[in-house]
Structure 1
Amino acid sequence: MTSSNKISKRKSIIEGDTSKDTFSDLELDEWVVRACSYLGIHHPTPVQSNCIPAILRGRDCIGCAETGSGKTAAFALPILQTLAVDPYGIFALVLTPTRELAIQIADQFKAFGAHISIRVTVVVGGMDMIEQGIMLANKPHVVVGTPGRLADHLKSTDFSLKKVRYLVLDEADRLLAPSFQPDLETIFSSLPARRQTLIFSATLTDTLKQLSAITNDNCFSWTEPRQTATVSTLDQKYIFIPAKVRDVYLTHLVDLFHTIENKTVLVFTSTCKSCQVLTELLRKLDCPCVCMHSIMNQSERIASLAKFKSSLIKVLVSTDVGSRGLDIPRVGVVINYNVPASPKDYVHRVGRTARAGLYGRAVTLVSQFDVKRLLAIEKLISTKMEKFELQESVVLKKLQTVSIARREVEVRLKENEFGEKQRINKAKRKLLEDALREQDELESEIKRKK
C-alpha cells in the first residue's frame, strides 16, 4: 500500500467510514485476523479501527463508544497479539463493575485467543474464593474480575500483580463510583508503575476525563462522534401514569410485547426487592420470566441470563446489574419500570436493545414524580420522547387482580425474610470498617506522641 493510500485509509477510519477496512489494516498479525474471521467478524468498528493501532504501539488509551460497538475486541485483540510474543502470567488485568460482564469478557478472550491456548481466570463475588485462589496461583495469562473480590484476594493471599503488562478498566465511569474507590486503591497500589492502561466506557463523564491521572503523557484518547446518546434505530416512548397503578401497566405491557407480539422483553427496576417482587408477580400472572439482581447467588444469576440469552425464557427482570455492557442478542423491548435517577443510566438500560443496527423499542413508565428526570433524559439524548398510546380502560380492567397478586407476593417475601442476609452482612461490614478506622486513628495518635 502506498503512502497516500495509507493516509486515505487512516482518514476514512477517523471519520468513521470503516466499510472497506479489514483487521489486516490495523497492524494485527495474521493469526488474529483469522481468529476474528472464524468468529464471523470481518470488518472493524470505528472504536477498533482507532484504538487498536495505538494500543499496539504501546500507548495508553481512553476510548468512548456506544454500547454494542465492539469495545471488548478493541482491547482484547492487541493484548492477545502482544501476549503471543512472550506469554507469561499474569499478563493482563481487566476490571469490570459487574460479575456478568466479567464472565462475558472472559468468554471473548477465550474465543479470540483459542489458537494460543490462553488461560483466563474470572475473579468475582458469589463464587468459591479458595477455588479462585488456586486458579490465581497457577498464574493465568488474563484475570478478569470485579474490584471487591480481587481486592479481597490481594489482602488475604500472596497473590501478586507486580508483572501485569496491561490494566483495563471496562465501563470505567461505573467503576469510578464511590463504592468501588477503596478496592480500586488497594488494586492500584499493587500494580507496577510501568504498564499500559486501557480505559473504555460507553459514556464519557467529567470524572472519566480525570482518569488521565493514571495514564501516561502519551495517552491516546478517542470518542465516537455521534449526534445523540442513543442510536437512531431505537424507538423511545413513555407512558404517563399515576404512581399507584405502575404494576398493572407493567403487566399489561409485558403481556402485549411478550404474549401478543412474541418479543423478548427486558424490564429494568431500581432495587433488588422490586426486581424480586415483579418477577414473582409476573409468574403468578402466568408469565414465565427470570430475574437478575445482586442478592441472588452467582449460579442463579448465570442461569437466569443463560435462559434469557437462549430465548428459553423471553422475559428478564433486572436491576442495573444488567444494564452495563452485556451482549444479549435481539432484545426486542426494554421497559423501564422506574425512571432512573441518572440520565446516563437510562442510556445504558435502553442500550440493551437496538444493537448492531437492529430495530428496538424502549418504553418508560413515568409518574407525576418523575417529570424532571424525564426532561433530563430528553436533554441528554437530544430527543423529545412521544407518548406510547394505550387505552386506560383496557389496562385498568386487571387492576384488582394485579393488586391482590402483588400483596400475596410481598407477604411471601416478608415471611421468607428476603434480603435479611444482605442487611446483616452490610451491618457487619460497617462495624468492621469502623473498628479498622478507630485502630488506624489510635495508631496514628500513638506515633504522633512518640
Structure 2
Amino acid sequence: MGTTSFPSLGLSDWLVGQVNAVGIKDPTPVQVNCIPPILEGRDCIGCSKTGSGKTAAFALPILHRLSEDPYGVFALVLTPTRELAYQIAEQFRVFGSHIGLKDVVVVGGIDMMKQGLSLAKKPHIVIATPGRLADHLANTDTVSLKRIKFLVLDEADRLLDPSFEEALEVIFDHLPKKRQTLLFSATLTDTIGRLREVATNEPFCWEAPREEATVEELDQKYVLMPAKVKDCYLIYLMEHLHNEEKKTLILFTPTCRSCQVYSILLRNLDYPCVALHSILSQSQRLASLNKFKSGHVRILVATDVASRGLDIPTVDVVVNVNIPASSKDYIHRVGRTARAGRGGLALSLVTQYDIDRLKSIEENIKTTLTEYDSKESEVLKLLNSVNVAKREVEIRLGDTDFGERRKINKRKRKLLEGYVKARKTKKKT
C-alpha cells in the first residue's frame, strides 16, 4: 500500500491534528495497512513488532467512529496486564481529548465499588483485564456491553491462553453478535486459527513482512556460566552496566518470588531498583513503574507482566535472568529495548541447563546471539558477598506472608469457574 500520510488513511481532520500535535508525522506500516479496513467496518488481525504503533492502529479508527456517533459504552479493549491497560488508556486520552473522551480502566487491585460507579456513568471506552471485568459482569449490573461497536484484544495471543479462558467466556456472553473485532499482537502465528474464530466475520489479516522477529537495532548477546554462580554474574553485570556505563535496565525473572528475591538482593548490595510482579498491590505496581519511567531508579526487576506492550523508550538493556521457555516470550521481553529506532542490548544469562532453549530461540528468531565479554576472575571475587546476601534475603522473605495474595486470587478464580458452570447449565436447560 502506497499511503504515507494520516489524512490519506481516511481519518477525520481533527484526529489528524491530534496526531500531529503529539509529534507523530507519518503512519507506521501497521497503521497504514490496518486503519483503512477498520474504517471500512471490517474485523482486523494485525501482527507487527513491538514498538511499531499497534495501539494507535486501533485507537485512531475507534475515535474516528466515536466522534461520528458518540455514546457509551462504545468500545471494549482487553489486555493481559494491568500496566498495559493504563498505558492504552493514556494513549486514548491523548488522541481523544478533543472530543471530551470518557474512559475507565477496570483492573484488579482497585476497589470494585469505585470501579462500579465509574462504569455506571457509561464511559465511551472501557480498557480492562479479563478477570476483573468478568467479576463485574458476573456479580454486578453496573455496566452493559450489549451496544458496543468495537471489541479489541491487545496482545491477543496471550489473552487466548487457558488462564484467561473462564473470564473470556463470561465477557463474550455479554457482548453483541454484531460488532467489529480487532486483534493485535507481536506474535500471532501459532494462534491465527483461534483468532479467526474470535472474529465475528471474515477478518482482514496483516502481518509485517520480516525475516527476523526482533529489530535490527537490537544487539543480542549471551553470558555462559555455571548455574551455581549465576547470581555472581548478575551482580558483575550490574557493576559494569549500571554503575560504570549508567544504563537503564529491565531484569526479567521467571517467578514472582524470584523477582522479589532479586529486587531485595540488589537493594542490599547498593543497586537501587524497583520490583514489578503480580503479587504486589496495584498501587505498589504503579509506583514501581512510575519511579522507573521517571528515571528515579534505573533498574526494574520484573516478571513477564512487564514484557507485553509497555512503552518505555529509555530502556537501554534487557537482562534475561532466566531463558524463557518459548521464543514468543523472549521476543516480547527483548522488545522492551531498542524501541522507536533507538539502539538497545539484550543479555541472556545462560547456564549448562539452558543450551537447548537458547538454540530453539535462535532458530525461531533467525538470529544467532553472540557472547558477551566477561571476566570470570572478577566474577569469582563476588562469590562470598553475594552468597551471604542471598541467604539473608531468603531468610527475610520466609518470615513474611509473601504469596498470600496469590491464594486470594486462586479463590477468586474458583468462584468465577462456578459462575461459568452455572451459566452453561442454565443455557442447556
Q: Which band: TM-score by shorter chain?
A: over 0.9
SS at match of 1:274: helix
1:209 counterpart residue number: 193
* TM-score (structure 2 length as normaliser): 0.96
2:82 matches 1:136: no
CA contact (8 A) 2:170 2:420 kept: no
Which letter maps to 2:357?
A: R
**1:245 offset after TM fit, Å?**
0.9
Q: Go from structure 1 to structure 2 and tell me whether the alpha carbon gap of 1:387 and 1:150 turns closer, same or farther (over 3 Å shift).
A: same
CA contact (8 A) 1:229 1:381 kept: yes
CA contact (8 A) 2:148 2:175 kept: yes
1:37 counterpart residue number: 20
**1:124 offset after TM fit, Å?**
0.2
1:239 counterpart residue number: 223
RMSD: 1.8
Q: Go from structure 1 to structure 2 and tell me whether the alpha carbon gap of 1:132 and 1:387 turns closer, same or farther (over 3 Å shift).
A: same
Unpaired runs of 5+ residues, structure 1, are 1-9, 14-20
Separation in 2 of the partners of 1:417 and 1:116? 47
Which letter maps to 2:42?
A: R
Q: Deviations over 1:230-263 (max 9, x none)?
A: 0111110111111111111111112211110011
2:53 counterpart residue number: 70
- Residue among 71, 94, 97 paired with 1:111: 94
2:133 counterpart residue number: 150
**1:216 offset after TM fit, Å?**
4.0
Which letter maps to 1:194?
A: K
Identity %: 57
Q: Deviations over 1:339-380 (max 9, x none)?
A: 001111000000000111111001100111111110111011
**1:440 offset after TM fit, Å?**
9.0
**1:431 offset after TM fit, Å?**
6.1
Q: Deviations over 1:6-35 (max 9, x none)?
A: xxxx3x35xxxxxxx210110111100000
2:109 counterpart residue number: 126
**1:386 offset after TM fit, Å?**
1.0
- Residue among 153, 158, 161 paired with 2:145: 161
Separation in 1 of the partners of 2:417 and 2:51? 42
Q: Go from structure 1 to structure 2 and tell me whether the alpha carbon gap of 1:270 and 1:195 turns closer, same or farther (over 3 Å shift).
A: same
Separation in 1 of the partners of 2:8 and 2:413? 53
Separation in 1 of the partners of 2:110 and 2:234? 33
**1:206 offset after TM fit, Å?**
2.5
**1:218 offset after TM fit, Å?**
4.0
**1:211 offset after TM fit, Å?**
1.4
Q: Go from structure 1 to structure 2 and tell me whether the alpha carbon gap of 1:438 and 1:94 turns closer, same or farther (over 3 Å shift).
A: closer
**1:208 offset after TM fit, Å?**
3.1
CA contact (8 A) 2:166 2:417 kept: no
- Residue among 379, 389, 392 paired with 1:395: 379
Separation in 1 of the partners of 2:408 and 2:73? 35
Which letter maps to 1:353?
A: T
Separation in 1 of the partners of 2:320 and 2:158? 20
1:318 counterpart residue number: 302
Which letter maps to 1:175?
A: L
2:7 counterpart residue number: 24
**1:330 offset after TM fit, Å?**
1.6
CA contact (8 A) 1:172 1:208 kept: no
Q: Go from structure 1 to structure 2 and tell me whether the alpha carbon gap of 1:61 and 1:438 turns closer, same or farther (over 3 Å shift).
A: closer
1:16 counterpart residue number: none
1:58 counterpart residue number: 41
2:69 counterpart residue number: 86
Q: Go from structure 1 to structure 2 and tell me whether the alpha carbon gap of 1:60 and 1:432 turns closer, same or farther (over 3 Å shift).
A: closer
2:168 counterpart residue number: 184
Separation in 2 of the partners of 1:205 and 1:279? 34
Q: Go from structure 1 to structure 2 and tell me whether the alpha carbon gap of 1:95 and 1:430 turns closer, same or farther (over 3 Å shift).
A: closer
Q: Deviations over 1:379-408 (max 9, x none)?
A: 111111111110101011011100000110
2:289 counterpart residue number: 305
Q: Go from structure 1 to structure 2 and tell me whether the alpha carbon gap of 1:104 and 1:241 turns closer, same or farther (over 3 Å shift).
A: same
Which letter maps to 2:264?
A: E
Q: Deviations over 1:312-341 (max 9, x none)?
A: 110000000000000012210000000001
**1:95 offset after TM fit, Å?**
0.2
**1:160 offset after TM fit, Å?**
1.1
**1:49 offset after TM fit, Å?**
0.4
Which letter maps to 1:351?
A: G
**1:420 offset after TM fit, Å?**
3.0
Which letter maps to 2:316?
A: G
**1:70 offset after TM fit, Å?**
0.3
Q: Go from structure 1 to structure 2 and tell me whether the alpha carbon gap of 1:203 and 1:440 turns closer, same or farther (over 3 Å shift).
A: closer
SS at match of 1:255: helix
Separation in 1 of the partners of 2:234 and 2:64? 48
Q: Map of 1:359-374 to 2, 5 A cutoff?
A: 359-374=343-358
Separation in 1 of the partners of 2:386 and 2:233? 10
Separation in 2 of the partners of 1:430 and 1:152? 10
Which letter maps to 2:402?
A: F
**1:439 offset after TM fit, Å?**
7.9
CA contact (8 A) 1:309 1:329 kept: no
Misfit runs of 4+, over 6 Å: 433-441
CA contact (8 A) 1:167 1:197 kept: yes
Separation in 1 of the partners of 2:378 and 2:414? 52
Q: Go from structure 1 to structure 2 and tell me whether the alpha carbon gap of 1:28 and 1:120 turns closer, same or farther (over 3 Å shift).
A: same
Q: Map of 1:322-341 to 2, 5 A cutoff?
A: 322-341=306-325
Q: How many residues align?
A: 427
**1:209 offset after TM fit, Å?**
3.1
SS at match of 1:41: coil
Which letter maps to 1:192?
A: P
**1:419 offset after TM fit, Å?**
1.2
- Residue among 82, 87, 100 paired with 1:99: 82
CA contact (8 A) 1:254 1:265 kept: no
Which letter maps to 1:119?
A: K
Separation in 2 of the partners of 1:330 and 1:392? 30
Unpaired runs of 5+ residues, structure 2, are none
Which letter maps to 2:365?
A: I
